[in-house]
Structure 1
Amino acid sequence: MSATTAVQTDKPLPFVRFITRSYAQLVLVAFALVPAYLIGYLHFFQNPALKFENHPFHEIAIAGATFEGLFVTYVTWQCYRSSGEPLLRWMTLGFLGFVLIYALHGAFTGLAHQNIWLFLLYGPASRLTMSILLLIGLLSYHRPPDPADRRAGARYLLSWAAILLVVNVLVALLAYSTVAGVVLLRVMEAAALIFSMLNVAILMLRRPRSPLMLVYGISIMSFALSSVAFLLGSPWNHMWWLAHVIFASGFFLLSYGVVQAFLTTRSFATIYSREELNARLAQEMDRTKNALKELHRTNQKLAHLAATDPLTGAANRRHFIACLETEVIRAQRDGTPFSLLALDLDNFKWVNDAYGHQVGDTVLQGFVRACLDAMRPYDGVARVGGEEFMVLLTRTSLDAALAIGERIRAATASTTFAGEIGRKVSITVSIGISQFGRDGRTSDALLRAADQRLYHAKSQGRNRVSTV
């Protein structure tokens, strides 16, 4: 073997595959932890006393988040109604809970100086509610779909909306109670962080293979890191604003996953990873390839059956006429002659009457074999009637056709065919020959001339070949 011969393989080496897979996982982890880098930067290198208190900006941002959340809630609900996945049901409730509670965080912005706890508590309450509902949804991942009657209508959704409005009232009562304060705020935010990290831990343990669950995991990590930022920050400082941005990034990413589900399978469980898609594609390609091969074989069988006489294996009349028409077109184009043989077994009716049709069928089959043995390898015989046959001799003049016809006649006359037990059946054949050009330039003219010569051979005593 030459030293320059290159060895190629479709599969990478195991070591290379391990390195690339590890690299891909590290990149994902690094991407999921990007907010942590920003939190660390602000915590260690920025003055926490610096503030940006802008009520209109905050109200506009919360209003935009509310409308975007309502849209995502609707899309998730439609996915749930289509697939019935419990995860999507709880995700719908998670989005709805966040929207209905978080909207009041924006609505009470103007009261930040009158009752700051009424303004602040709705933020961690919305995140805590969403993290709890998402955790319940994750625990229901891959459970059987909900019944269709449970998904129909919006009654279930409206009942939960009523529950969430009660939560809003409870948060307001807490804001006006004696327990309102920094401790309560941090306890609620820490609880949101804990439930988000539980989500992440369960994902890491279960390792679901759906790519949308990867999006889900990165989003939950963003929610957890936003809670970290809220715990480290204080109202209106840069860490507090960064926490909003981190949460919004996770929310947008999770909404992207929902929209992808809506545009494809409307399911989080039946969207496949790249490896699964490649495997399924390869499997389907193999199935398609095998199906095409089988279809090709079937078509060949059907084409053979459509062109073949089932008794003798010779070509049938339709196939013979099609070949004759093609040969006429070729001969008209280049002028090279061809010839036709019209064959008819002599007194074949007597064979059927004397020995029965089963013996007659055996004679017909033996006659075709005798013809094929006497002809050129590339010529063929066609059965065009009961005991009538035709032979198309391409690029063959009348003299060569006469010689082939004589061989067929002699082979038939010298062959005995099996009859009843202990008896043999002999038969002869009469043949008429026509040639393209000499007897016409159309298929009808050539067939008519060959038949006329065949009848002439019959009238001259049978068992002969006629060219006139």
Structure 2
Amino acid sequence: MRMNIAVREAPPAIWRLLKVYTQLLLIAFALVPACLIAYLYFAQDPTLKFENHAFHEIAIAAATLEGFFVTYVTWTCYRSSGEPLLRWLTLGFLGFVLIYALHGAFTGLAHHNMWLFLLYGPASRLVMSILLFVGLLSYHRPPERVEKRSNARDWTMWLGFFVLVDIAVAYVANSAIAGSLMVRLSMEGGALVFSILNVMTLMLRRIRSPLMVIYGISITWFALSSLAFILGRPWNHMWWLAHAIFAAGFFLLSYGVVAAFRTTRSFSTIYSQEELTARLAEAMARTESALQELQHTNQKLERLAATDPLTGAANRRQFIESVEAEITRAKRGGAPFSLLALDLDNFKAINDSYGHQIGDEVLRRFVQTCLEAIRPYDGFARVGGEEFMVLLPQSLLEAARTIGERVRVAIARSAFEAGIGRLVEVTVSIGVSQFGHDGDTIDTLLRVADERLYRAKHQGRNCVVAA
């Protein structure tokens, strides 16, 4: 028993509602860290601390290794696509890792030089947020040149810049202004401001591809982590929550990078299932068109390989294949067939008197006249300069001689134009052979037809010899 289930399209209002619902879900997901921040800020004692240097060092080391890996993947995507956004993403990841690693390395100095330990965190986030913002401004710009992607000098200069930042942070941490709360707040506040600018730019430009949605949520979490760092104090729960929020944003952004690497290696090219399906359909359509064009070209080549280019008649190879097929059918019990061997009389004299151009025109006209004189299903081929063959299926010797005579008369009565009002007299000599009567192999049939053609030549030309 078969059941037919009618599937109705949802009303437009439902589609609009689903769209709004999806957007609200994304916004809620992006703001989840804000709820956690509010909970700790209003419901937890800020003086509670969890100071564990070993845990902090292990966490920073793992983040550093993961950061280097994501930097490499992003750089590989940039090398492949040349997308400017990926270049700045690579620099953002690299700058963050090279500066943030010292935040973990100096954990043991937290009680001796708090600022040397503490300032590398906000500095790394500030540098990363600035570079990501610059990258967003370059979104959808044309791919960069190949030589620019591999320019070692540019990358070395950026490495040098990040090292200078490390040195500058160390200098500030050991200076008199290090104890000022404004130093840390200005760095963290700068990271917060640039992250907010990133999100606002993303919204104003209405960039909503799946990869950029991931990018936007990640930047939102970076902004909220900076807010949590501003509200928190070293080692208290808000401070650890800030680390967790930033790590979650970093992991999410790295997921987007890996998704790009596994698909288009570009953030501008959407990797959603719908667009991949559409692009696949376009690629399949182009492939189908190319296959059709290739098939058409192959058919054209096959015709050229089987056709005489001057007259359009079949060539010798094609004719031999047709005769061999006819022999196979005849040996299975089919009716015998016959061959005609044709040769234009005194064709060399035509070429010598009127030129090869007139000779070529005579050949073309000769072929057309022969095709009109033989039956539609008979095979006609040019096998030499002025030599032609005709395959006559289901024709005995006498019937073949009659057809040959009809061809001879048609040629003799035709007017072959030689230019400037002059006519060329053209005649043809014909030899006939029959399968079974004169032999049962292709070589024998061709030899007999040629022998009778030569006899026609010796008998004065312009005649048909069948015995």
Q: In the aligned structure 2, how far is the partner of 1:99 from the partner of 1:450?
A: 90
Hey, what does 2:455 align to over in structure 1?
A: 456
Cα deviation, 1:292-336, whole Å, max 9, x if unaligned, reads 444444444433333333333222223322333343344445655
Q: Secondary structure at the match of 2:174?
A: helix
Q: Which amino acid aligns with 1:152?
A: A
How does 1:19-418 map onto structure 2 within 5 Å?
A: 25-40=23-38, 52-76=50-74, 87-88=85-86, 90-112=88-110, 119-141=117-139, 142=141, 145=144, 148=148, 151-153=151-153, 155-173=156-174, 177-180=178-181, 185-186=184-185, 188-208=187-207, 212-259=211-258, 268=267, 271-274=269-272, 284-332=283-331, 336-349=335-348, 351-352=350-351, 357-418=356-417
2: distance between equivalents of 1:435 and 1:396?
A: 8
For residues 86 and 423 of structure 1, the distance between their equivalents in structure 2, rounded to whole angstroms, comes to: 75
The answer (yes or no) to whether the contact 1:109–1:119 under 8 Å persists in 2 is yes
> Hey, what's the Cα distance between the residues in 2 that align with 1:441 and 1:50?
109
Work out whether residues 119 and 169 of structure 2, in 8 Å CA contact, stay in contact via their aligned partners in 1. no
Over 3 Å counting, the alpha-carbon distance change for 1:397 and 1:54 in structure 2 is: farther
Using structure 1 for the length normalisation, give the TM-score: 0.79
Change in 2 beyond 3 A, CA 1:225/1:304: same
Aligned residues: 459
Q: Cα offset for 1:254?
A: 2.7
Secondary structure of 2:160's aligned partner: helix
Question: Any conservation in 2 of the 1:117–1:175 contact (CA below 8 Å)?
Answer: no
Return the offset for 1:258.
4.2
Cα distance, 1:266–1:434 mapped onto 2, change above 3 Å: same
Contact 2:75 2:90 in 1 (8 A): yes
Aligned equivalents of 2:84 and 2:283: distance in 1?
30
For 1:222 and 1:349, how far apart are their aligned partners in 2? 92
Unaligned runs of 5+ in 1: none
Residue 414 of structure 2 is aligned to residue 441 of structure 1: no
Q: Distance in 2 between matches of 1:437 and 1:203?
A: 87
Deviation by residue 1:136-167 (Cα, 9 ceiling, x = unmatched):
34335538848749932453134213312223
Q: In 1, Cα distance between the equivalents of 2:138 and 2:15? A: 33
How many Å separate the matches in 2 of 1:101 and 1:358?
84
Cα distance in 2 for residues equivalent to 1:352 and 1:90: 76
CA-CA distance at 1:447 after TM superposition: 0.6
Decide whether the 8 Å contact of 1:80 with 1:151 is kept in 2. no
Q: 1:272 to 1:393 in 2, by over 3 A?
A: farther
Distance in 2 between the 1:292 and 1:14 partners?
A: 40
Structure 1 distance, partners of 2:379, 2:8, is: 48
Q: C-alpha deviations, 1:100-148, integer Å up to 9, x for none?
A: 4433433444455566555444433332332233323433553884874
Helix, strand or coil: the match of 1:199? helix
Q: Return 324-333 or 161-170, whichever deviates more.
A: 324-333
Residues 1:407 and 1:212: Cα distance change in structure 2 (over 3 Å): same
Q: Distance in 2 between matches of 1:316 and 1:214?
A: 65
Select between 28-37 and 78-87 the one with higher mean Cα deviation: 78-87
Q: Following the alignment from structure 1 to structure 2, what is the Cα–Cα distance between the partners of residues 458 and 445?
A: 20
Quote the offset at 1:207 in angstroms: 3.9
**1:200 partner amino acid:** V
Any unmatched runs of 5+ in structure 2? Answer: none
TM-score, scaled to structure 2: 0.79
CA–CA separation in structure 2 for the residues paired with 1:444 and 1:192? 92
Q: 1:416 to 1:20 in 2, by over 3 A?
A: farther
CA contact (8 A) 1:307 1:319 kept: yes
- Structure 2 distance, partners of 1:133, 1:360, is 78
In 1, the alpha carbon distance for the partners of 2:12 and 2:340 equals 69
Contact kept? 1:121, 1:175, Cα under 8 Å: no
Distance in 2 separating the partners of 1:433 and 1:64? 93
Give the superposition deviation at 1:355. Answer: 5.5
Amino acid at match of 1:366: R
- State the alpha-carbon separation in 2 of the partners of residues 86 and 463 from structure 1: 82
Q: Are 1:93 and 1:160, in contact at CA under 8 Å, matched by a contact in 2? A: no
Does the CA contact (< 8 Å) of 1:432 and 1:467 recur in 2?
Answer: yes
Q: What fraction of aligned residue pairs are identical, expressed as a percent?
A: 65
Q: CA shift at 1:350, angstroms?
A: 5.1
